[in-house]
C-alpha cells in the first residue's frame, strides 16, 4: 500500500488533530512533523495538545468514568468486541501504517494489529470473569467477601516500537474493568494512535460512552509531565526506557498513585552443547534482527557453551549476511530502518565502546546506503567478553553480543548479571538443564523460555519483567487486577456483634 492509500483507508490527512475527548478537539499546542524512518521525509503533521487541551481531556475522562463504571462488565465487554471486529476490518491498512511510521516490516505491523485483535477477544472473555473471593469468617453468622471495583481514569504512555499493541493491552482490559483512559503515544508514532482512535470513535459514536478512549498527543515535558503528576489519574501504565520509567515511577509514587512499568530488556539466549542448533539459530536471528532490534524483548546477548560456540557462530554469521534490508512495505524486506538518526548514532557509539572493550565485530557494524535516504544499519554480531561493561547496557538496535559460558551454571550467572530482567531463553535437549533454568536458581527474568526465543510473547500470559524492567505485568493471567481497586466486605447477618481475634470489649 502507498502512503495515500493507507491514509485514505484510515481517515488520515496531511494535518491531523492531536487530541480526542469524546470527539476530536481543536488543539493549541505546537505542530509536530512526523518522520518516515525509511526516507527521513515528513509523512504528515499533527496539531499537538497543550496543557489546556489536556485539561479538557481529563475532564471528559472523569465525567465518563462516573457512568461507565456502573455499566455491567459484560456490556463493557461488548463494546470491546465491536472494536476488535473493527480492527479486523482495518488490519492490513493499520499494519501498513505501523510499517510506514515506525519502520518495522509490514508483516510485523499486521502481527501487531493481530495482537490488538487477540487482546480484544481476551478482554471480552475477561468481562465475565472479574472474580472476587468468598472468605471464611472466624465470627458466627458473618460472611466475608472480596470485590473488585473500577479504579478511575488510567493514563497510558506507549512507546514508538509497538505503537498500537501496547495501548490495546492496557486499554481493552482497563475498559472491561470499568476504567476510562487517556492515551499519550510516542511523538515518534502519533499517526498510528490517531488512526486507532478514529477506528474506536466509529464504534463508540452515539453510544454516550465516547469519552472512554481518549487521546492526547503532546510534548513529554508539557503534557506528559502533567499526566504523570495528575492526582486525578490513579494509575499510569508506561512503556519505555528504564530512565523514563524511573521518572514516571518517582512522580507517581510521590503522589501515592500506582504505576505499571514495562521498561528495558537486555535479553539473553543460552545455547548449550546439546541444543538443536538449527532451531536456536532461527530463534536468535528472529529475536535479534526482527524490528531492527527495537523490541523490548529483542535478543541482545547469546550465551554459547564452549562446545558449540564455533558452529553456532558460523550459522549466525551466515544468516546475517543474507538479511534483506530495505523498505518495510516491500514484502521482500526482513529488516527495516531504525526509528531516527539519533538511534543510528547510539548504535554506532555502542559499537565503538564494544570494540574499545575488546569486542570483535563478526558481522555487520555499519550503516546502509540503499538510496532510500532513511536510517538503515547492518545487523551486527560482536564477540566480546561477558563481563565487558557495554554488554550490561541495552542498546535499542540490532547489536547481538556473542558470549561464552563454561556450563549451565556459568550461563545462568551471565544471564542474570545485568540490571534488566525481562525475557530469557535456553536451548537444550536436557530436561534437567531446562528445569534448572526455570527454577528459583535459574533465570531471574519475568519471561523464561525453553527451546523458544526471547521474542513473540502471547497475550494469554502476563507480560513483564523484574529489576529495572519495572515489575509491571500486562495482557494476561491476573494482570486485570492492576486496573481495579480491591474491597474486602464483611456482612453480619446475626444478632450479636462479636469482634475478631476473640476480643471482648465490655
Query: What does residue 72 show for φ and ψ, rounded to 5 degrees?
Result: -55, 140
User: Which of these, 29, 56, 33, lies nearest to 43 by C-alpha position?
Assistant: 33
**Rounded Cα–Cα distance for residues 78 and 125 (Å):** 10
Q: Is 355 exposed, middle or buried (0-12, 13-18, 19+ CB in 10 A)?
A: middle
**Which residues are bridge partners to 426 per DSSP?**
270, 450
Task: Indicate which residue of 110, 262, 378, 474 is catalytic.
Answer: 262
468 is catalytic: no
Residues 6 or more apart whose Cβ sits within 8 Å of residue 279: 427, 451
112 is catalytic: no
**Rounded Cα–Cα distance for residues 203 and 175 (Å):** 14
Task: Indicate which residue of 177, 296, 468, 474 is catalytic.
Answer: 296
Q: Classify 230 as helix, strand or coil.
A: coil
How far from the centroid of its chain's Cα atoms is residue 308's Cα?
Answer: 33
**Rounded Cα–Cα distance for residues 321 and 302 (Å):** 18
**Which residues are bridge partners to 157 per DSSP?**
184, 238
**Residues 171-196 as b or e (16 or more Cβ within 10 Å = b):** bbbbbbbbbbbbbbbbbbbbbbbbbb
| DSSP states of 449-489 | EESS-SS---TTSPB--EETT-S--BSSTTGGGGGEEEEEE
Q: Classify 99 as helix, strand or coil.
A: helix
**Rounded Cα–Cα distance for residues 305 and 226 (Å):** 49
Q: Classify 191 as helix, strand or coil.
A: helix
**Rounded Cα–Cα distance for residues 188 and 226 (Å):** 19
Q: What is the dihedral of CA 418, 315, 275, 442, to 10 degrees?
A: 0
E strand or H helix at 335: none
Residue numbers annotated as active site: 262, 296
Amino acid at each position: 500500500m502507498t502512503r495515500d492509500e493507507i491514509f485514505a483507508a484510515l481517515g488520515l490527512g496531511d494535518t491531523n488533530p492531536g487530541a480526542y475527548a469524546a470527539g476530536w478537539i481543536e488543539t493549541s499546542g505546537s505542530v509536530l512533523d512526523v518522520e518516515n524512518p525509511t526516507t527521513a521525509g515528513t509523512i504528515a503533521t499533527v496539531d499537538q495538545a497543550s496543557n489546556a487541551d489536556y485539561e479538557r481531556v481529563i475532564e471528559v475522562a472523569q465525567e465518563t468514568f462516573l457512568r461507565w463504571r456502573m455499566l455491567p462488565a459484560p456490556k463493557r465487554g461488548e463494546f470491546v468486541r465491536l472494536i476488535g471486529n473493527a480492527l479486523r476490518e482495518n488490519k492490513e491498512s493499520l499494519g501498513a501504517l505501523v510499517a510506514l511510521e515506525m519502520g518495522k516490516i509490514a508483516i510485523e505491523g499486521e502481527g501487531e494489529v493481530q495482537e490488538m485483535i487477540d487482546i480484544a477477544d481476551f478482554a471480552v472473555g475477561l468481562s465475565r470473569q472479574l472474580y472476587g473471593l468468598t472468605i471464611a469468617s472466624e465470627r458466627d453468622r458473618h460472611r466475608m467477601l472480596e470485590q473488585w471495583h473500577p479504579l478511575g481514569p488510567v493514563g497510558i504512555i506507549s512507546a514508538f516500537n509497538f505503537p498500537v499493541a501496547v495501548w490495546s493491552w492496557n486499554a481493552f482490559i482497563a475498559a472491561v474493568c470499568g476504567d476510562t483512559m487517556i492515551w499519550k503515544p510516542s511523538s515518534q508514532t502519533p499517526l498510528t494512535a490517531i488512526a486507532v482512535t478514529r477506528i474506536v470513535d466509529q464504534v463508540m459514536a452515539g453510544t454516550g460512552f465516547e469519552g472512554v478512549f481518549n487521546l492526547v498527543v503532546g510534548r513529554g515535558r508539557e503534557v506528559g509531565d502533567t499526566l504523570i503528576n495528575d492526582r486525578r489519574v490513579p494509575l499510569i501504565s508506561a512503556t519505555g526506557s528504564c530512565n523514563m520509567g524511573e521518572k514516571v515511577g518517582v512522580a507517581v509514587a510521590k503522589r501515592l498513585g500506582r504505576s505499571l512499568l514495562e521498561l528495558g530488556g537486555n535479553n539473553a539466549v543460552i545455547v548449550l552443547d546439546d541444543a538443536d542448533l538449527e532451531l536456536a539459530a532461527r530463534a536468535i536471528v528472529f529475536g535479534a534482527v526482527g524490528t531492527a532490534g527495537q523490541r523490548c524483548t529483542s535478543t541482545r546477548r547469546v550465551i554459547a557453551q564452549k562446545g558449540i560456540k564455533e558452529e553456532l557462530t558460523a550459522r549466525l554469521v551466515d544468516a546475517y549476511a543474507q538479511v534483506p534490508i530495505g523498505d518495510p512495505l516491500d514484502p521482500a524486506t526482513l529488516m527495516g530502518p531504525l526509528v531516527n538518526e539519533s538511534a543510528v548514532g547510539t548504535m554506532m557509539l555502542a559499537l565503538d565502546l564494544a570494540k574499545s572493550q575488546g569486542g570483535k565485530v563478526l558481522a555487520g557494524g555499519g550503516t546502509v546506503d540503499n538510496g532510500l535516504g532513511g536510517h538503515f544499519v547492518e545487523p551486527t554480531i560482536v564477540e566480546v567478553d561477558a563481563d565487558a561493561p557495554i554488554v550490561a547496557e541495552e542498546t535499542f538496535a540490532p547489536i547481538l553480543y556473542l558470549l561464552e559460558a563454561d556450563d549451565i551454571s556459568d550461563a545462568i550467572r551471565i544471564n542474570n548479571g545485568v540490571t534488566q530482567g525481562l525475557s530469557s531463553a535456553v536451548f537444550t535437549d536436557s530436561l534437567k538443564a531446562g528445569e534448572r533454568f526455570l527454577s528459583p536458581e535459574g533465570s531471574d527474568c519475568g519471561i523464561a523460555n525453553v527451546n523458544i526465543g526471547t521474542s513473540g510473547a502471547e497475550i494469554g500470559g502476563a507480560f513483564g519483567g523484574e529489576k529495572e524492567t519495572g515489575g509491571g505485568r500486562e495482557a494476561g493471567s491476573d494482570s486485570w487486577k492492576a486496573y481495579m481497586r480491591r474491597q474486602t466486605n464483611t456482612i453480619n447477618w446475626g444478632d450479636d456483634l462479636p469482634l475478631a481475634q476473640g476480643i471482648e470489649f465490655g
